[in-house]
Structure 1
Amino acid sequence: MVTALHDKEIEAKARAMMRETIGRSGWYPALSGKARRELIERDVERHWHLMIPGACKRLEQRGG
């Protein structure tokens, strides 16, 4: 159970980090509003796993 909770926390952190990275990168500059958010969420869904190492590191640094 603890592992499952830990995995969910890592996934949530990795998704948040990917969302932030994409948002700061200026992806989809021709789009705004809902259309841009939908494409960003699609990309977060596809690529969040790439942020797992960074998410683990951040969670470890905070002691959680």
Structure 2
Amino acid sequence: MAGNISGEKPPVLTGSFQGPPWGQYRAMLHSWLRDSARMIGMVLPMVLSACLPIKWLLELLL
């Protein structure tokens, strides 16, 4: 920026420019993590209870 004597602001950071809405992103991420943790908490016992008989069957067969 050699001679910005005229007093104009550079057109990059005007007053209307705002960065990404990090608060929104963080809230979305938190809710997504909470929902996925709840889903995993519901699905994991079902998966484990489905896998345990398979494991027992394999141990019986082998």
TM-score, normalised with respect to structure 1: 0.40
Q: Larger % of helix: which?
A: 1
TM-score, normalised with respect to structure 2: 0.41
Greater Rg by CA = 2
Determine which structure has greater relative contact order: mean sequence separation of CA pairs < 8 Å that are 6+ residues apart, divided by chain length: 1
